[in-house]
Structure 1
Amino acid sequence: MRRGKVQLRRIEDKASRQVSFSKRRSGLFKKAHELAVLCDAEVGISVFSASGRPYEFCSSSSLENTINRYLQFSDAKQDVSKHIDEAQNHGKDFACPTINSELMEIAPWSLSLKTDMAKLDVNELEQLENELSDTFKQIQSRKTKLLMDTINKLQDQET
């Protein structure tokens, strides 16, 4: 017995839509689990129902760690190539002139921030947190890139 082809359009009946959502969500999570086990992959899925209720599946310890790992590697590609291009264009006066100039901008600001921290509102604190987080991610991605380059060079030397 074959199943018929399903038309891809919104299911009008609310009860049928909920049943279909539950079954398909379970099937999706089952396939994600199979992918993780068979291919030793780290898989994370986040699904929100029509009512806004979140459902998640993660093959590792937490979905947040998986998302952070994804963001780190996707940002690393862009950040590393950007910093390499900028470093080549600026010459070789400093080891990393763009980071040096960014640190010079942040340093006085962060020193004055210690005294003005109580005056900042939630939005300003969130902006500060995001800027520091972005800077931290750039540092981590550059460090990862340098370590990977070193490992590759050592592996090339062994062969």
Structure 2
Amino acid sequence: MSGTGTPQLQPAELTHLRTTAADLRVAIVASRWHETVMDGLITGAERFLNQVSPAEVNIYRAPGSFELPVISAHAVEHHEAVIALGVVIRGGTPHFEYVCQAATDGLASLAVTSRTPIGFGLLTCDTEDQALARAGLAGSTEDKGFEAAHAAIAAAAEIARVTA
């Protein structure tokens, strides 16, 4: 079941993340496709970031999800954490698989090679209703933008702990 096992943000963790985030420049790289879903994902990411108050937040818009890795690659040069947000909804052609795989592989490879945490907020859904359910909108059952932002900042905090 989707959403099962989502970690809950505890007060002690939030305090720790605020300390880490205070020095971070964070980029949100978000696709333009599926405007309603994307508005929800961006708002969710911003909601989390408002809780931890990073030093700087910049939003960059990708034409589509396929372009998330290349724009994120430029963002990691100037930011300590990136939140990649997008949505791909299955159609009747293999296009879905190609875009999802390329974006996923590109972001994963970038995170490892750049050693920069990238919050993975790419929704890969069969239907628009599934995307809306995950977008953090009123009536949504999940908030994947919030979760992706949490993942990026929590990873940055662990990296800081590992490298201290």
Structure having the larger proportion of residues in strand? 2
Task: Look at both structures and tell me which one has the larger radius of gyration over its CA atoms.
Answer: 1
TM-score (norm 1): 0.25
Quick check: which one's helix share is greater?
Answer: 1
TM-score by length of structure 2 reads: 0.24
